[in-house]
A and B are shown apart, each in its own frame.
Chain A
Amino acid sequence: DAKTTQPNSMESNEEEPVHLPCNHSTISGTDYIHWYRQLPSQGPEYVIHGLTSNVNNRMASLAIAEDRKSSTLILHRATLRDAAVYYCILGSTGGTSYGKLTFGQGTILTVHP
């Protein structure tokens, strides 16, 4: 399975933008880039996903490098409720790993008031 590398932790101040990086140098052409987040004692929450082009939704933006070897999740104005573990995951659309998500350790985001 293609793997991702994320910083263990990041900190931000409330109402400031947050850029969460993710490296995935072994990404294959059919792998989608997914972002999920998990609050303590809850199941993960889908944030955003994309293949090649940058994506925007009501929660965040996803900026994907031209070579697709890295991506950045952008929270435009962090709130205290955005404090969570953020997972960057490559979703395979081929082979035996079709549709599976392999969770790494993620980035613990702390938001300061």
Chain B
Amino acid sequence: GAVVSQHPSWVICKSGTSVKIECRSLDFQATTMFWYRQFPKQSLMLMATSNEGSKATYEQGVEKDKFLINHASLTLSTLTVTSAHPEDSSFYICSARFGQGNQPQHFGDGTRLSIL
């Protein structure tokens, strides 16, 4: 149980394009979804937290106009990297949680984004 599917698993695109990443909870309703970014040989950094039907809450230093998050349903959240540049190349990972804050998060397998 508690499966989170993330798509695509990898994407390569040209600088200036926008990329959308989907995160779906397949067998549970996600009260809250999270988006993380991980650079090579570093740990995960939380980018934003989103609750279904509400605006996402971004961590300090994360540009909300660059990283658009939509959480339209209890099973789907999307992250759009707008006008992506090479410095946005990273491993993006989503997670989903059902219930209260003490409950575990269940993670997708990540999206490897490479901007040329």
Binding site for B on A (CB under 8 A): 32, 34, 36, 41-46, 49, 51, 87, 91-93, 98-106
CA distance A46 to B1 in the complex (A): 12
| Residue B44 interfacial (CB < 8 Å) | yes
Q: Which 3 A-B pairs have the closest CB atoms?
A: A99-B101, A43-B107, A103-B44
11 A-B contacts (beta carbon < 8 Å) = A32-B102, A43-B107, A44-B95, A49-B104, A51-B102, A93-B101, A100-B46, A101-B105, A103-B36, A103-B45, A104-B43
Q: Determine the residue in chain B with the shortest Cβ distance to A32.
A: B102
Which of A49, A92, A106 sits near B43, CB closer than 8 Å? A106
CA distance A87 to B107 in the complex (A): 14
Interface size class, chain B? 20 to 34
- Return the CB mask of B75-116 against A: 1 if under 8 Å, else 0: 000000000000000010111010011101111111010000
* Chain B residues with CB below 8 A from A43, complex form: 4, 6, 93-95, 107-110
* Chain B residues with CB below 8 A from A87, complex form: 43
CA distance A105 to B109 in the complex (A): 19
CA distance A43 to B45 in the complex (A): 12
CA distance A44 to B107 in the complex (A): 6
Interchain CB contact under 8 A, A91 and B102 = yes
Interchain CB contact under 8 A, B105 and A46 = yes
Interchain CB contact under 8 A, B43 and A41 = no
Interchain CB contact under 8 A, A46 and B49 = no
